[in-house]
Structure 1
C-alpha cells in the first residue's frame, strides 16, 4: 500500500515532472470520507493500493510516480461502510459521461495564433453555435466535433461575424445534447473531441480574427450522470451533499440541483472553473446561463446573496487580469444592476441578453395584421439600454431557445409556409433592426441562410440552404459589414447614440438616427416600413443636408426572387425642417423594408441600394487586381450607327481592354471601354469546361434567346452553324450587357445570361448605371452567386451628346465575379473567354473583339461570322492568379522576421488591399499580427 500526502499543487489529477521524479498528483475534496484511494490503469484499478492522505479541511492527496497522460482513474471514497467509486469532479477529460477520467496534460497543446486581439465590444457581431450540429453536413452523423467545425469556419469569415458564442461544451449526458445538462464542469465533451480539440478550435478562430465566448452553467448541474451528487456519501434531506444546497428552498432549479454558492470550496470550484476557460483555453468571454437562478429563487421571490457575491468575485477577477474579455448574463430580469460595476454594487457583467428587445421585435415580425404592429414598441425596443451604454445589451431575434422551443422566425411568421414572401420580407426586416439598433447583435446558426422549422440537436445544419438562399445570406453579409463599419460609411452603428426621430403608427413607419460623433461616414439614418404597402414620396428628417446614399435596401433584387427592388439609390436632404431635424428628404419605401442611409459610400460596397441588384459597388480601383490587360484593342469607332450624333447619346461603342484572373474558386473579369446607350451590347462567351459545350450556337435551342439577338443562333436551319468561334473554343456560358435609354431621360443596363449546356433559358435583370461620374453597382442573380458591377465614371474619349448626360449614357467599366461552380469548373484550369461589342441593330459585330483582330469596321451579321477564318485567336485563356510565395515576407528576403513586423506596424489601421493585410479584411490589426507570427521564421 502506498500512502503519502503530496506537497505539490493542483486539484484532480495533475502531472508533475521535477527533480524528484515524474508522475501525477491526485487530490480531491471529501470532508465526510473515512478514507480515499485512487484506482486506475496504473494499478489494475485496485482500490487498496494507493490511499490518499488527509490534508485537513476535507482535502486528500497523493503523488503517484510514473503515471502519465492518458492514464484512467477513479477515486474510491469510503464513508460509514460505503465504498463509492467516483469520477473526479476536477477531471479535465473523460472517456464519456459514464466512463473514466483520463490524466490530461494541460500544457501539451501549443497555441499558434498568439497575436489575436479581442475586437472592441461596440464592433462585436456574435454567432451562436452548437458544435454538434454546426460542423456536420447533411447526411453526416451527429454530433460533429471541433475539427468538423474548424473545417466550416471560413463560412463565418465570409459572413463577416467576429465572435462565436458556443453552447455548452462541458461533458454532458450522452453524445447528442444541447449541453445544458452538464455532468462534469471541468471536462470538455468527449464526443466533440476533448480539451485539445477545443483549444485547436479557439486557435483556428483566432487565426481568422474571430473571438470565442463560452456558455457556462453555474445555476445548476446535472441532473444525470452526476458523480458530484452526494460525492462523499453525505447529504441532508435526500439532496445533493457537499457540492449542493440541501434545503427545500434552494436545492432545486427547473433543470437540476443548484450548487451551494455559500460553501467556500464550491465557490472556489466555480470561480476557478470560470478562470480556467479564459486562462488555459484562451477564450475571450463567458455567457452565464440563467443568472436569475444564481442570484435567487424566482419562484419564491427569494434572493441568494452569496450567489450575487460569487458573480461579483468572478467578474472582479476577470477585470483585474483580462479586462478586455467580456462576460454576458442571461438574466431576463430587465435588471441594470447586472451590468453595473462591482464597485457600484452591481454584478459586474459587461452585457446581458435583452428580452425587452427580443420579444417585441419577434412579435412585430410575426403579427399577421399590419395594423396591429406597434411602432411604439419598435421605438422602445430600439432605444432600450442598460445604464446608458449600448454595449450593455445583446440584441437578437433568434437564439437556441427560440429556435428549439418554438419554430424559427420565418416559420412563426407563416406556419407551414416559411418560404412565403411575407416570411422572407418580415424576418429580414427584423434582422435589419437587430443590426441597426444599439447593442451587440447576435444571430443563431443557420439564421443567415433562412433556416426554418424547429432546431434540433439531432440533425446537422442544412448547408444546402446557403445555395438555395444565397441572396438572404448576402443580405446578412451586407448588414454585418455595415454594423462593423467595414466600408467606412457607417461608424454610427458602432456608436452609443440613438435618436428615434420618426414614429408613424398609422402608416407603420419608424426611423432612427445612429451616430458616434456625427458627420459624414458617421451619421446613419435607418428607415423601416412595417406594412405590405409601398410608400412613395415619404418625407423623413435627416441630421444634415446634401446627398445621402442608400447603402442598404433590404428589398434589393439581389437578395432573392421575393425582393423586388424599388426605393432610392440616393436622396437629397434639403433645408425643410422635419422630425425635429433641420433637414429632410422625400423617398420611396418598399413594403416590409429597411433602408440605411449614409453620406459616404462604403469602400467595400457593404449594402444594396434601391434598384441596384445587390451589394457590390465599383470603386474605380478594382482593376488593379487584374494586372496588365490581356489585350488592348484598336479603339476606332468608325462604324455605322443610325443614332450617332443624337443629343444624349455617346458616339460609338468600344472595347478598350480586358483583364481576368481566377482566384479562390472565382472567375473575375474586367472590361473597359464604352457601351453607348442606344442598345449596344457587350456579349461575353465563356468556355469553362474543356472539350465540352456548344461550339456551334444554333437556333434550335429555343430557351436561349441571347437577349433578343436570336441571330446568334443558326440562320434558320438547325443543321447550319450560327456564330462560329475559334476552333476548340466551345462556349458553355453566355452573359450579355445591353445599354438602353430613351432620349437621355433614363438609362438602364439590361443583363441576360444562360448556361448553354443546360438549354435552360435566359435570366434577365436591369439596373440604373447612375448619374455621370458617380458610378453604380449591380450584383445580379445572387441565387447563382454571380456578381456584376458597372461603372460610368470615366467618359474620356466619348464625343457627341451634351456634357454630363453623356456620363449617364455610357458604361465605361464592367466587372464580373462568377463562382467556378456556376461555370461547372472545379479548379480554374482551361477557362477561355471571348467577348465583342454588338451593334444596336443586331446586324453586325464591331471591330471591338478580344484578340488580335485589326481595325475592320465590322464583320457583318452574327449568323455569318466565322472567327475560325480570321487569323489569330479571338479569345483568351485565363490563368490562375499567382499566389505570393511567402505571405508575411513583405521585403522578400526569404524569412519572416522583425523587418516584416515593422512593415506591418507601419501599415496599421485601415489598409485596403495592402500586403500586410494578411486576412484581406481591409484593416491591418491584431489578427494580421497573429497570422504573421504563425509563419515566423519561415517562408512557406
Structure 2
C-alpha cells in the first residue's frame, strides 16, 4: 500500500500558517498567489514525484488564493476545500479544526441496519441547501429511514446540477452551504441517529472548470468513459492521481464525519495494475478505521454484476462493503410498466422476481440479450447486506426523457406492492426522495453551465441518449431554471389523503423491517422465494429467526386464490400483521381472518401485499 502525500492547503494553528502542496510534475515554476489587499507571491519548492510545497504565515482561514504555473497560468487549487465564488475563481483556505462537533458518542450503524433515503440537496427542499435538509430531519426520522444518501456535493459549475459534473472533488458546493453547511448537516443527522452516505465520483470529471490538465496527467487516453476522458489510475504518473482520490475519500470520513461513501459507476474506473484502485482505497480506509476507532463503509455502484467488488481480499476481491443491484430494479420496473426497451431488454420475466429475491442478480453468468454476451457472477457466497436495492433512484427516474417517477407510471396499489418488494427483501432497501408518498413532480436532468457550446452539446447528448427507448415527447431543456424548479419536491402528502396513506404504509413497512426478528438481519440463504407465474403471486418466507415472516405479493390485477406454502418445519399458525388492502392504507378493507393455519386457502385482492407472522 502506497504512502499517502498530503495535498491542497492545510492551515495549522501550531505552525501559525498554511502549508500548500500542489502536484505539477511537468511545471518548471509553481507559486501560490495570495489574494490580499496587497497580493503576496509564495514560491513553492519542488520535491520528489512532482510535488511542490511551502509554508506561508500570511495565509489564514478565509484567505483567497490561486496557483500560478510557470508564471503564466493561474488556476484554482485542484485540491481546494472551498470555492466561495465558484469553479473559475480563487480558492479559500479552510480550518477544519474550528468546527465544534457534538457527535463524539455517535457510532456508525452496522451495515445491515442501513435503510437509505437518497436525496438531491438542491431539489429536496425549497431552499435547496444543507440547512433546508436539517429542518426536514425529524420528518425523515419519523418515516423510519436510518441513513440519508446525498447525491454528489463536490463543487460543480453554476448552482444547478445533479452533481456528477463536479470538477473540484475536495470542495463542498458553495450554493448548498459550503463546508460549514455540510458539517452542520452531518452533525445534526448524527444527533437524530441517522447515518450519512455521500455519493462521490472517481470515474470522470465534469467538462466546465476542469483545470486538472494544466497541472499534470490526471487523465489517460488508454480508455474512454461515457462522460469523456478516463482518469489515470494505471498509466505513467498514476501514483499521484491515485493519491489525489485516496486523500479525497479519507477527507470525507475524517473532516466531515461521513459514515459511508457511494462510489459512482466503478465500472468506469479503469485500472489494469497489479492492485486495483478500489482495493487500495479499501486498504486506506481500513487503516483510517484503526486510527479513528470507528467504522466506515464503501458502497459501489456497478454495471458489472461482479462480486469481485465485495468479495474479501483473501478471496481475490476488492473488499468493498456493498454494491447496488441494478438487476433488482430492472426486474421490478419491467414487470410493472411493461417497458422492454434499452437496458430493460431481457427483464420483466416472472421467474426473475423470485431469483432476485434469492440471489440479488438475474444475470449471474447468463447470456444477456441487451449486452449480447454472457454476463455477471454468482452471489452464492455473499451476504444479503452486501446488496442495495430499490424500485427507483435518481438515475432510473432522471434519465427518462420526462423524468417520470413510478407514481406517474403505475397506479396506487402497484406502488404499495413495489414498496413491499423492496423493504421486505433480504437486501438493504433504498428509497428515492418523495417515493414514500408518491411525489408527482418529475425528477429531471438539469445543469447551469456557462459555456453556450457546452450547453448545446448537453442538449444534443440527452436527445441521443433517449433513442434506445420508445418514449414520446420533447426532452425538457437541461439548462432551464424551470427544469430545475419542476424537480423540487412538493410534499403534497400533507394535503393529499391517499399520499398520506401511502407514507403511513411505508412507515409501517419500515417499522417491520427494523423490529421484526426475521427481517432485522436477513440471511438470503434462509429466505424462501417462489412465484406462481400462472397467477403472479410471489411467496416470500423469511426464516432467519423466529418468529418467521410470510410475505405474499399479488402482482395480478385481479383477485387470486392461493394456498399458503408449507415451510420446511412445522411452525403452527400464522397471524396477519399487515394487509395493504386494509382501509387504513387506502384499500377497500380486509376480510381476511387474523389467524390462519398452515396450508390455509387465501384470496388475495388485486395488487396487494399480505404479511403474516409465525405464532
Query: What is the TM-score of this pair, normalised by structure 1?
Result: 0.54
Residue matched to 1:76: 68
Q: Is contact 2:537-2:552 (8 Å) kept?
A: yes
Q: Is contact 1:546-1:572 (8 Å) kept?
A: no
Residue matched to 2:54: 62
Shift of 1:151: 0.7
Higher Cα radius of gyration: 1
2:433 to 445, 451, 454: 445
Shift of 1:403: 1.6
1:398 and 2:392 matched: yes
Residue matched to 1:755: none
Residue matched to 1:849: none
SS at structure 1 position matched to 2:92: coil
Q: What is the RMSD computed on CA atoms of the aligned residues?
A: 2.2
Q: 1:218 to 1:597 in 2, by over 3 A?
A: same
1:333 to 304, 316, 321: 304
1:27 to 21, 38, 51: 21
Structure 1, unaligned runs of 5 or more: 1-8, 232-240, 296-303, 414-422, 574-582, 601-940
Q: Is contact 1:492-1:514 (8 Å) kept?
A: no
SS at structure 2 position matched to 1:380: helix
Shift of 1:53: 2.1
1:409 and 2:435 matched: no
Residue matched to 1:164: 148
How far apart in 2 are the matches of 1:492 and 1:16? Answer: 45
Shift of 1:438: 1.5
2:594 to 566, 570, 583: 570
SS at structure 1 position matched to 2:118: strand
1:455 and 2:443 matched: yes
1:744-783 → structure 2 map (5 Å cutoff): none
Shift of 1:229: 2.4
* Per-residue deviation, residues 868-921 of structure 1 (Å, max 9, x unmatched): xxxxxxxxxxxxxxxxxxxxxxxxxxxxxxxxxxxxxxxxxxxxxxxxxxxxxx
Q: Is contact 1:374-1:508 (8 Å) kept?
A: no
Query: What is the TM-score of this pair, normalised by structure 2?
Result: 0.82
Q: Is contact 1:132-1:145 (8 Å) kept?
A: yes
1:540 and 2:536 matched: no
Shift of 1:514: 0.9
Shift of 1:569: 4.5
Q: Is contact 1:545-1:584 (8 Å) kept?
A: no
Residue matched to 1:356: 327
How far apart in 2 are the matches of 1:347 and 1:57? Answer: 27
* Per-residue deviation, residues 279-336 of structure 1 (Å, max 9, x unmatched): 12111111111111114xxxxxxxx323961100111222344273221111121111
1:592 to 591, 604, 607: 607
Shift of 1:495: 3.8
SS at structure 2 position matched to 1:268: helix
Q: Which has the higher helix share?
A: 2
Q: 1:530 to 1:316 in 2, by over 3 A?
A: same
Residue matched to 1:114: 104
SS at structure 1 position matched to 2:565: strand
Residue matched to 2:250: 275
Residue matched to 1:192: 176
How far apart in 2 are the matches of 1:193 and 1:513? Answer: 46
1:366 and 2:358 matched: no
1:376 to 351, 369, 375: 351
How far apart in 1 are the matches of 2:348 and 2:524? Answer: 27
SS at structure 2 position matched to 1:161: coil
Q: 1:107 to 1:275 in 2, by over 3 A?
A: same
1:526 and 2:551 matched: yes
Residue matched to 1:416: none
Q: Is contact 1:489-1:599 (8 Å) kept?
A: no
How far apart in 1 are the matches of 2:521 and 2:537? Answer: 20
SS at structure 1 position matched to 2:196: strand
2:219 to 241, 244, 258: 244
Q: Is contact 2:330-2:348 (8 Å) kept?
A: no
Shift of 1:110: 1.4
Shift of 1:40: 2.1
Q: 1:596 to 1:90 in 2, by over 3 A?
A: same
Q: Is contact 1:188-1:194 (8 Å) kept?
A: yes
SS at structure 1 position matched to 2:181: helix
Q: 1:515 to 1:362 in 2, by over 3 A?
A: same
Residue matched to 1:554: 580
How far apart in 2 are the matches of 1:216 and 1:277? Answer: 10
* Per-residue deviation, residues 82-117 of structure 1 (Å, max 9, x unmatched): 710011011111111122100100111111122122
1:711-730 → structure 2 map (5 Å cutoff): none
1:433 to 414, 421, 424: 421
Shift of 1:374: 4.2
Shift of 1:389: 1.0
2:79 to 67, 90, 98: 90
Q: 1:493 to 1:548 in 2, by over 3 A?
A: farther
Q: Is contact 2:441-2:489 (8 Å) kept?
A: no
* Per-residue deviation, residues 796-822 of structure 1 (Å, max 9, x unmatched): xxxxxxxxxxxxxxxxxxxxxxxxxxx
1:293 to 268, 279, 290: 268
Q: Is contact 2:581-2:588 (8 Å) kept?
A: yes
How far apart in 1 are the matches of 2:261 and 2:229? Answer: 21
1:573-722 → structure 2 map (5 Å cutoff): 573=597, 583-599=598-614
Query: Alignment length, in residue pairs?
Result: 532
Q: 1:501 to 1:281 in 2, by over 3 A?
A: closer
SS at structure 2 position matched to 1:434: helix
* Per-residue deviation, residues 532-583 of structure 1 (Å, max 9, x unmatched): 21234644335544332222212221123xx21225242332xxxxxxxxx4
How far apart in 1 are the matches of 2:162 and 2:604? Answer: 41
How far apart in 2 are the matches of 1:591 and 1:183? Answer: 49
How far apart in 2 are the matches of 1:124 and 1:445? Answer: 16
Q: Is contact 1:482-1:493 (8 Å) kept?
A: no
How far apart in 2 are the matches of 1:306 and 1:184? Answer: 26
1:513 to 514, 536, 541: 541
Residue matched to 2:513: 483
How far apart in 2 are the matches of 1:338 and 1:171? Answer: 28
Q: Is contact 1:350-1:392 (8 Å) kept?
A: yes
Residue matched to 1:36: 30
2:282 to 306, 315, 334: 315
Residue matched to 1:886: none
Residue matched to 1:256: 228
Q: 1:308 to 1:391 in 2, by over 3 A?
A: farther
Residue matched to 2:532: 504
How far apart in 2 are the matches of 1:130 and 1:368? Answer: 26
Specify which structure has the bigger relative contact order, considering alpha-carbon pairs within 8 angstroms and separated by 6 or more residues. Answer: 2
Structure 2, unaligned runs of 5 or more: 341-346, 361-378, 447-483
Residue matched to 1:324: 295
Shift of 1:271: 0.9
Shift of 1:474: 0.5
SS at structure 2 position matched to 1:305: coil
Q: Is contact 1:223-1:257 (8 Å) kept?
A: no
How far apart in 2 are the matches of 1:363 and 1:308? Answer: 38
Q: 1:35 to 1:492 in 2, by over 3 A?
A: closer
